[in-house]
């Protein structure tokens, strides 16, 4: 299936192609190719067993934000804002840029580029652009902190866990710009902090790892960079109290504050989160400046390996290493 502006393409918008894919058997692997261009649309994809490949420079962009009003005059909220929503399993996305162009500020609030409410998903050579809450990795917590519903785009398939691999990707934002409850492994990615509109603190991650989950976010051999003049950025803070986040062999720019981590103004979180850094150059001196309730070591001995993070599934081998898992399923 081919999407593009040319007359020979099957569809001219990604949304039309997504609707057509919904009418095909969900068990049959499908591939969607998108020709180079800018696609100004919000896309919802619920199906499983799907590979999406950008040919050339492909950008999907939309400007929706949490403070935006609906037809009733009410704010639409964070989870109604994604430019791209993914809800299935066994997905692979390659060479795509997904942007939420709403910007930032008190009148904007959160603005999600990608809502990855999907399991066994691989993202290769993708770029996700936004400011606050750029990339959401499902599942959601059971309820908001006030006990209510999150609202937003309806979720058809409720995964009890979402396992995701990000390789050679670039993710940018300001506050909590990688957040959610997934077991997600980020390998050789650039994690870029942008300038905060109010010059407030930045936060790279805001994990909501479910209680009992062995792993949350793992960043392996990633580069943490920032726009010129950006400082006062934390590695993470807990969206929920059992947050787990590891940085393994990563290179951190000078924008990361010496304390490293934030407790979201709740000291009780310090006894329940698991924040760790492995393979840190100069760890002995840095430990004196990091918060005492997080691990910082120069050793890699206890660092989580990819096969341990994704124990019990092979999607990360078949989809993550060579992109052939769909062909193998057909041959099986």
Q: Which residues are known catalytic residues?
A: 176
Of 120, 112, 61, the closest CA to residue 87 belongs to: 120
Of 167, 174, 155, the closest CA to residue 230 belongs to: 174
What three-state secondary structure class fits 75? strand
Contact 230, 200 (CB under 8 A): no
Task: Read off the tokens for 107.
Answer: 């009148």
Burial 54-73 (b: 16+ CB within 10 A, else e): beeebbbbbbbbbbbeeeee
What three-state secondary structure class fits 283? helix
Q: Give the CA radius of gyration of the chain.
A: 19
Contact 216, 209 (CB under 8 A): yes
* CA–CA gap between residue 227 and residue 292 (Å, rounded): 29
* CA–CA gap between residue 273 and residue 210 (Å, rounded): 11
Contact 223, 163 (CB under 8 A): no
User: Cβ atoms within 10 A of the Cβ of 84, count?
Assistant: 27
Per-residue CA distances from 191 to 35, 46, 223, 322 (Å): 26, 27, 6, 23
Contact 187, 166 (CB under 8 A): yes
| Per-residue DSSP letter, 267 | G
Burial 296-314 (b: 16+ CB within 10 A, else e): bbeeeeebbeeeebbeeee
* CA–CA gap between residue 245 and residue 248 (Å, rounded): 10
Of 190, 193, 276, the closest CA to residue 234 belongs to: 193
Task: Read off the tokens for 311.
Answer: 């124990």
């Amino acid at each position: 299936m081919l999407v593009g502006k040319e007359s020979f393409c099957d569809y001219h918008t990604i949304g039309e192609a997504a609707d057509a894919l919904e009418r095909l058997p969900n068990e049959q692997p499908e591939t969607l190719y998108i020709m180079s261009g800018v696609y100004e649309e919000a896309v919802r994809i619920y199906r499983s067993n799907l590979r999406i490949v950008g040919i050339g420079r492909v950008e999907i962009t939309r400007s929706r934000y949490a403070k935006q009003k609906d037809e009733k005059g009410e704010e639409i909220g964070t989870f109604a804002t994604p430019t791209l929503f993914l809800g299935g399993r066994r997905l692979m996305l390659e060479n795509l840029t997904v942007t939420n162009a709403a910007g930032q500020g008190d009148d904007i609030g959160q603005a999600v580029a990608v809502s990855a409410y999907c399991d066994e998903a691989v993202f290769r050579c993708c770029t996700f652009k936004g400011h606050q809450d750029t990339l959401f990795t499902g599942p959601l917590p059971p309820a908001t902190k006030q006990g209510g519903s999150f609202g937003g785009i309806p979720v058809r398939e409720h995964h009890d866990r979402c396992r995701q691999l990000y390789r050679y990707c670039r993710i940018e934002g300001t506050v909590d710009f990688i957040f959610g409850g997934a077991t997600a492994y980020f390998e050789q990615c650039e994690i870029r902090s942008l300038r905060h509109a109010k010059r407030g603190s930045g936060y790279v991650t805001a994990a909501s790892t479910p209680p009992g989950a062995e792993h949350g976010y793992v960043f392996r051999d990633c580069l943490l960079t920032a726009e010129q003049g950006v400082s006062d950025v934390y590695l993470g803070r807990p969206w929920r109290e059992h947050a787990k986040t590891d940085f393994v062999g990563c290179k951190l720019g000078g924008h990361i504050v010496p304390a490293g981590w934030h407790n979201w103004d709740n000291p009780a979180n310090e006894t329940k989160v698991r924040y760790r850094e492995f393979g840190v150059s100069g760890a002995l001196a840095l430990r004196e400046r990091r918060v005492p309730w997080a691990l910082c070591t120069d050793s890699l001995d206890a660092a989580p390996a990819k096969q341990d993070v994704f124990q019990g599934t092979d999607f990360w081998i078949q989809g993550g290493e060579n992109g052939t898992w769909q062909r193998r399923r057909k041959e099986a």
